[in-house]
Structure 1
């Protein structure tokens, strides 16, 4: 019923409902009449009516006290269901509705939409701690109709022990928004969301539960149904979006793709979103477009929260042409008239892709969606897929460490006991907490003592599903059939049918031409090299447990100076060549002449400096060059060092030596273990020491191939400085991440 002129949607979700042509209101009675009355108050139109399935969901919640799952396309009006149900239940004496919502942006939009609709909604999340006392007072005074909380709140010990029990006892309706996050199979699974299954079991049987999502295939739907309990009413509608015009344009490389954007961004309708797969790609693309005069901003996980909120508002107000964003801008961003979504690189699954393109055309008749796939997409998919999967040995190490501690251990302290980086460590702890093996308490995490086993079969099946999803995205790009039909059929939409609008149905609606000047400008941007390598300033906590006698700040006379890196492995420009260079099984060889010249250009710009950062970081031109010994790329590192030495006429003194078998551990471990793995294993040898003494107190350039944690170059720099070197200036080919 997508074309019903009396569609029940809130103004923020889609086009407003039109009035009754007769100007009169149909006589109504019973729950439907009450719901229709509330709906018309919410949307401000006397002729508004329900979409197919909306009232059925409301009735199941209000009259039946049931558990319902609504799977409907973006813009269908899922929030109308829970706002209408909430007000009806409140009128019948029920307590406030509790909505679990995954993103701050989503909460902001929901609170704003509720306020416009006359619903008293408040939120408790990490961004509004100063308002928590006021919210509690409002709840106590029964002045709240809807309370939104983040799933992370459910794991917070104080909230779980002090606020949650009272909320559960008073809750009139539980809503799980973006419910695909509950499922292991969902494209955006979040361990904290699994807490909701426990929350449901704490609710009285009479309390209705509603789960909503726009992106769920049959496997995800079944998983959610199991977690909601018995007797779930599932309402699924057509996922096809008549307003979207889909297309795919395959271009040979990043230069051509960025050139296409430079050529055609101004031609795209209204304002929109340009999605990239990595943070560096978003930042590089935004910089290129801004330099060409386009009003764009980068929006990533590294963007300050206040800047994110400002960027969202600027896009909503059409004061920027586009946000160049990672998946950090996804669920929760609500701009009904968003005119286009362009992807530089394909997301790893049709579900994720459909969720992102669903930002467009919610309240407009037409919106353009274009995918510009990249040859590097599969490598990026593989990286994120493996990074998000917990491993059995790491899980066992965490459980052993907590059991041996016998008391609560903070995440920071746990890093000195388990070789796992902060983000995957926190993810693993959440998974173990959901499984009941650990719990978060005041002071950190502790073992519950409950037996736990690694579900290898489950993770194997999830990994296989991820590969199938990746293959589906490739098929989407290559299909000669209707793109909307394909992507909705992959989401198990039984109503999937040809759209008549996509590039395969109606012919290419976009130009494939790229202006030569745009290609040249993109090429120049991509060929630019060099980024700052910030020195480490603080030793990791708990190093004494690993036999490393350091703590606190790194002494100024032992630390590195600011350095330079040619590029990140994820960069659009030099990143591709570097990924090939460091790919598994790639041969070790001398540095490519073009790459050497790019490093020389980095040095020229570094040496020139600017008004904010004097050349060579104020340390003066390096008097000598030293290289790090490389286990994987010795020919590469030595040829780079000798090449820089010859071109720059700077003496190459040789390389540091490895002791005790050299550094241990691989890339990807946490700071504490990475430092322990290189501590006292890189030394100034007998051959290098006298040569270095001849340049006593002068700056030295330190050459390396690849940095990740930066502890190898930090320890090497410390050794050089203790041997008499002045400032140590690292120059590195690539930075991971």
Structure 2
């Protein structure tokens, strides 16, 4: 929960206190119990927001910096409304970490708070009983829960009927223009429209520019209600911002190794990719620094433990991706370091706002990289639907058809995550709905809003340029971020590196540089074999289902590196960049691959090398296979045949369509079977790139059926 006693309170009573002294006195007593401080007073505008909700029953938007105390507003307002006979407050909250913090903080202050989300569905019956007995003051709900058929149909109507206050936390997620837009948040407009006119609504955020504010106001005003907006200064006086440009990833990691212990207290080191965070954490741990990795790949229980370790100062830092963002609250967080820049100043402000909430000083340093733009582009995904896939989904769900997401994957060529996102967008637009058993069309007309989606895409590009401008500005950095948020109080901070001079060291210890270089030159990533065929392959003309037979399966493979890796990843991104063309592998690339093979630890050395016939990089794959053959003295049998022209379609797409595109497209030359019979042992299968891994799986199957004892896949690049 955000603390309210961080900044010095105003001694002067607010206008609200003068107008309503009895309510103010009651609210102050609740505030003091909430924060555990007998002398606490409201910040400017806090009581005004509470008064608008409690006395006026209004719809309010609060845009205030992190640490200002937005959660105190809705907890105090909830208790005041409950004391006046209102029902429980319903809070839509985006992250499990935020829910855990808020429930714990509320409980310490006597607020009976419960949460329902994907992590505690089994507790819903108990929570429902407490609601029925009127033993819950605040219920926190994840936005995704609003579209769960059982919750939506069985429980949400009663919650709406009884609710005393609706709170939308991190409300910038409502807006298409917000830096963290989430389709499920757009359902909240429908929720607001269903509320009785007497129920107040509060939306809160710390990261909204004028366009986002206007968008939120329009949604809060559903039904013609006025919206009371409170917008305070967003600059954080405790933060000392800086930018340090270093020439390459090695020097940035070496700077961390050299200076991490000099940073105040404990903090967060942000990386742009999962592999970047994990590799950085391993390097720092090896050097003796107490750090933990925190990414979307981290097990939920391990995430919770990592959060606790940082809050209790048992670690110096969490090395995290954006998975550690909204909702994590540690008032004394001493620093935030970025290895690579987020793609917008607003997203950057949101992340650095984790620091310095309860301390007078906190250090924030950005170490941008030349590869940042490539990584932004690599991860560039839109939360807006593409017209073709959207129409394909609607066609499949027409005429009352109910299909699961898995069944849709055999009908529409989208990977699971983009397909789920598309279904959410179509659901919010009213074109489809989630029901027991899957999804179905509503029959309502849906039109592709190309102009809107193009405007949003253009805004994202503009945000990326603004982030580059932040890095190079000679003006005040806090003022720059405040202006990006359209803060009317934006002014020079007097603390950042441009205002007061560089406050951080820039030297790199030689030993640290050597260690960082060795870590970045590390090669070898596991390529896990496929174990199951996608369901419903018969619909695509592929006669397989269930587990892949052991006699047809490939073994665990290796890649030189991931495309997102800090070291070799940069070189591989150049090779596989759109329009990069095809060229033979150079000596450095082949030598790196030889290192992978030398470290593989296979039980038996390969007896032959076979390559996959590549459509996009034939010179690269052939030269790589020949180079490995020559240096490893392993016979190269050439490329597999493509009797039907080779794989159909392009890269990407979901597993079902990728398997269908490569099925029965490879063949072993007639002499191959005889060679395998005379030379039993593993075959090294060489390709350029692995994403879905179905090309390797299918090529491996035909090799196994032709007599290869086992197949060891090897690729240059693994997507992630």
How much has 1:376 moved relative to structure 2? Answer: 1.2
| 2:182–2:383 CA contact under 8 A, matched in 1 | no
Counterpart CA distance in 2 for 1:688 and 1:591 is 26
- Normalised TM-score (structure 2): 0.97
How much has 1:101 moved relative to structure 2? Answer: 0.1
Name the structure 1 match of 2:641. Answer: 657
How much has 1:52 moved relative to structure 2? Answer: 1.2
1:129 lines up with 2:129 in the alignment:
no
1:215 lines up with 2:199 in the alignment:
no
Which runs of structure 2 are paired with 1:7-46 in the superposition (5 Å)? 12=3, 15=6, 29-46=21-38
Name the structure 2 match of 1:486. Answer: 480
Counterpart CA distance in 1 for 2:553 and 2:382 is 31
How much has 1:585 moved relative to structure 2? Answer: 1.5
Name the structure 1 match of 2:701. Answer: 718
Name the structure 1 match of 2:350. Answer: 355
Counterpart CA distance in 2 for 1:80 and 1:228 is 21
- Normalised TM-score (structure 1): 0.95
| 2:3–2:68 CA contact under 8 A, matched in 1 | no
Counterpart CA distance in 2 for 1:104 and 1:331 is 10
Distance 1:556 1:182, change over 3 A: same
1:289 counterpart (274, 284, 294): 284
2:574 counterpart (564, 576, 580): 580
How much has 1:665 moved relative to structure 2? Answer: 1.8
TM-superposition CA deviations, 1:491-524 (whole Å, max 9, x none): 1001000000000000000001011111111010
Which runs of structure 2 are paired with 1:561-580 in the superposition (5 Å)? 561-580=555-574
Distance 1:236 1:495, change over 3 A: same
Name the structure 1 match of 2:169. Answer: 177
| 1:18–1:47 CA contact under 8 A, matched in 2 | no
| 1:566–1:598 CA contact under 8 A, matched in 2 | yes
| 2:172–2:207 CA contact under 8 A, matched in 1 | yes
Secondary structure of 1:361's match? coil
Counterpart CA distance in 1 for 2:8 and 2:467 is 35
1:311 lines up with 2:294 in the alignment:
no
1:446 counterpart (416, 440, 451): 440
How much has 1:125 moved relative to structure 2? Answer: 0.8
Runs of 4+ more than 3 Å apart: 10-21, 26-29, 386-389, 686-694
Counterpart CA distance in 2 for 1:358 and 1:520 is 33
1:236 lines up with 2:220 in the alignment:
no
| 2:5–2:40 CA contact under 8 A, matched in 1 | no
How much has 1:51 moved relative to structure 2? Answer: 1.1
Distance 1:378 1:57, change over 3 A: same
1:65 lines up with 2:57 in the alignment:
yes
1:428 lines up with 2:412 in the alignment:
no
| 2:10–2:43 CA contact under 8 A, matched in 1 | no
Counterpart CA distance in 1 for 2:26 and 2:80 is 8
Structure 1 spans left out of the alignment, 5+ residues:
1-9, 607-614
TM-superposition CA deviations, 1:94-121 (whole Å, max 9, x none): 0000000000000001111111222111
1:469 counterpart (460, 463, 470): 463
Distance 1:91 1:419, change over 3 A: same
Name the structure 2 match of 1:457. Answer: 451
Name the structure 2 match of 1:705. Answer: 688
Name the structure 1 match of 2:274. Answer: 279
1:669 lines up with 2:661 in the alignment:
no
How much has 1:386 moved relative to structure 2? Answer: 3.3
Counterpart CA distance in 2 for 1:472 and 1:154 is 35
Structure 1 vs Structure 2 CA RMSD = 1.6
Counterpart CA distance in 2 for 1:140 and 1:294 is 50
How much has 1:29 moved relative to structure 2? Answer: 3.6
Distance 1:508 1:302, change over 3 A: same
How much has 1:63 moved relative to structure 2? Answer: 0.8
Aligned length: 712
